[in-house]
C-alpha cells in the first residue's frame, strides 16, 4: 500500500547522510544549511545543528550545577509514556516535571501567557509563529524536541494516482498545518502552488489542480477519526496522530513527506516558555533529559519510529521563528 517518495535528481546532503547512516550504523555529521544529522539512537533520528551554539557538554555541566529543588509545570496536548519517561529522567537530575495535559491546541499557549504553567511542549515553530502574531505574544523556544512524519492516507485507495477527479481530501483547518498539507500535495504532484505562497499557503495559492480536488478543512487532531469517512477519498496528517489501535503508520501512506528535508525546519517541535523565563536553569536539565537514551527508546516504542527526536541550534530556531512571525504579520 505504501509508495516511496521519488528521489529528487539532486539528492540533498541530508538525505545522502541518512542513507549512509542507516547502512553503516555509525554516527554521521553533515551540515545542511542550518541543520545537520548526527546519529541514530534506538532507531530514532537526531538532527543537530552546532553552528556556534553552546556545546552539549557545557549544557550538561550547567544542568548539573543547577539547584536540586527545581520544578516546572509543562502544558501539552496529550498524555503519553514518552512524557512519563522524560519526567523520570529529569527527576534523577534534580528537576521535578509536572505535565498538564489538555485536550486542546490553544490552551497550552494561552495558559503559558497567563502564567498558569511554566512552559509547553506540543507545537512546532510554524504553529507558534501564528499564535504569537495573532495574540501579540512573546512565547519563545528554549530547545527543539521532535518532528513528525506527515503523509497522504486513504482507507480505500492504494496509490495517489487512484484519486478520482473531484475527490474530497481532509486537511487541517489551522494555517500552519493546512499549509503543510498543501505542500505535501504539491510534492506528490497533485497540485501546484504559486511561487510566492510562502510558509502559510492556502487553497487560494493553488495555481494548478488538474484533478479538481476538493479540500475539506478539519481540526488536525480529529482527522484520524475521519480516516474511514466514506465521503473522504484521503486525509493528510502526521503519522503519530493516529491512535495505535488503528494500526496505521508510515508504511500505510500513499505518499510520505520527507520530514528531514531542510524545508521542514518550521515543523520542528519545541519546548517553549515566556520570553522573560528563557534563562530558567530548569530548561538545561530538561534538555539533558530529552537527550537520554531511555527517552529515545520510549519515543520509538510509543510512536513506532513515526516521530523523531531532533536537536537544532536554538539561535537557528529563534531566527526561523522571527522570519515566520514577520511573514505571518504581512499575510
Q: Do 139 and 63 belong together in one domain?
A: yes
pLDDT > 80? residue 175: yes
pLDDT confidence band for 328 (50 / 70 / 90): confident
Question: Which of 212, 234, 258 is the endpoint of a domain?
Answer: 258
Is 9 inside a domain boundary?
no
Q: Do 142 and 275 belong together in one domain?
A: yes
Q: Do 132 and 155 belong together in one domain?
A: no
pLDDT > 50? residue 195: yes
Q: How many other C-beta atoms can be found within 10 angstroms of the C-beta atom of residue 220?
A: 24
Is 39 inside a domain boundary?
no
pLDDT confidence band for 285 (50 / 70 / 90): very high
Q: Do 63 and 130 belong together in one domain?
A: yes
Q: Do 142 and 154 belong together in one domain?
A: no
289 versus 175: the higher-pLDDT residue is: 289
Q: What is the mean pLDDT of residues 205-221?
A: 96
The CATH number for 191's domain is 3.40.190.10
What's the predicted TM-score (pTM) here? Answer: 0.71
Q: How many other C-beta atoms can be found within 10 angstroms of the C-beta atom of residue 251?
A: 12
Question: Which of 239, 258, 277 is the endpoint of a domain?
Answer: 258
pLDDT > 90? residue 162: yes
- pLDDT for res 296: 94
- pLDDT for res 129: 95
Q: All 3 cell numbers of residue 203? A: 487553497
- Per DSSP (E only), the strands in the chain are 30-32, 35-41, 44-47, 70-76, 95-101, 119-124, 139-144, 146-148, 150-153, 168-172, 192-193, 206-208, 214-218, 234-238, 255-256, 269-274, 307-309
- pLDDT for res 58: 43
Counting the structural domains of the chain, the total is 2
Rounded distance between C-alpha atoms, residue 46 and residue 308, angstroms: 7
Q: What is the mean pLDDT of residues 213-231?
A: 95
- pLDDT for res 50: 32
Q: Do 154 and 135 belong together in one domain?
A: no
Q: What is the pLDDT of residues 108-125, one digit of tens each?
A: 999 999 999 999 999 999
Note down the domain range covering 235: 150-258
Is 25 inside a domain boundary?
no
pLDDT > 60? residue 46: no
Is 24 inside a domain boundary?
no
Question: Which of 199, 231, 258 is the endpoint of a domain?
Answer: 258
Is 21 inside a domain boundary?
no
Q: Do 220 and 288 belong together in one domain?
A: no
Q: Do 237 and 300 belong together in one domain?
A: no
Amino acid at each position: 500500500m505504501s509508495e516511496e517518495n521519488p528521489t529528487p535528481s539532486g539528492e540533498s546532503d541530508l538525505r545522502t547522510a541518512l542513507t549512509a547512516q542507516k547502512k553503516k550504523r555509525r554516527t554521521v555529521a553533515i551540515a545542511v544549511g542550518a541543520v545537520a544529522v548526527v546519529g541514530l539512537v534506538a532507531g530514532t533520528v537526531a538532527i543537530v545543528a552546532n553552528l556556534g551554539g553552546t556545546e552539549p557538554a557545557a549544557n550538561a555541566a550547567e544542568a548539573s550545577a543547577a539547584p536540586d529543588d527545581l520544578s516546572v509545570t509543562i502544558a501539552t496536548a496529550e498524555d503519553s509514556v514518552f512524557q512519563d519517561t522524560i519526567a523520570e529522567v529529569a527527576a534523577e537530575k534534580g528537576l521535578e516535571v509536572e505535565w498538564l495535559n489538555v485536550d486542546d491546541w490553544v490552551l497550552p499557549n494561552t495558559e503559558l501567557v497567563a502564567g498558569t504553567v511554566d512552559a509547553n511542549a506540543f507545537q512546532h515553530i510554524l504553529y507558534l509563529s501564528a499564535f504569537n502574531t495573532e495574540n501579540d505574544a512573546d512565547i519563545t523556544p528554549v530547545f527543539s524536541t521532535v518532528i513528525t512524519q506527515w503523509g497522504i492516507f486513504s482507507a480505500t485507495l492504494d496509490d495517489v494516482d487512484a484519486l478520482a477527479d473531484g475527490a474530497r481530501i481532509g486537511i487541517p483547518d489551522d494555517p500552519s498545518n493546512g499549509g503543510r498539507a498543501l505542500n505535501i500535495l504539491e510534492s506528490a504532484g497533485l497540485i501546484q502552488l504559486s511561487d510566492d505562497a510562502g510558509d502559510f499557503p492556502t487553497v487560494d495559492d493553488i495555481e494548478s489542480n488538474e484533478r479538481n480536488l476538493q479540500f475539506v478543512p478539519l481540526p488536525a487532531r480529529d482527522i484520524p477519526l475521519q480516516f474511514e469517512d466514506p465521503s473522504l477519498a484521503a486525509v493528510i496528517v502526521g503519522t503519530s496522530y493516529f491512535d495505535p489501535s488503528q494500526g496505521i503508520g508510515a508504511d500505510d501512506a500513499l505518499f510520505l513527506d520527507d520530514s528531514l528535508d531542510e524545508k521542514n525546519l518550521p515543523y520542528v517541535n519545541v519546548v517553549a516558555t515566556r520570553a522573560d523565563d528563557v534563562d530558567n536553569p530548569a530548561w538545561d536539565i530538561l534538555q539533558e533529559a530529552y537527550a537520554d537514551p531511555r527517552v529515545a527508546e520510549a519515543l520509538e516504542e510509543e510512536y513506532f519510529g513515526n516521530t523523531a527526536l531532533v536537536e537544532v541550534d536554538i539561535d537557528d530556531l529563534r531566527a526561523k521563528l522571527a522570519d515566520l512571525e514577520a511573514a505571518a504579520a504581512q499575510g
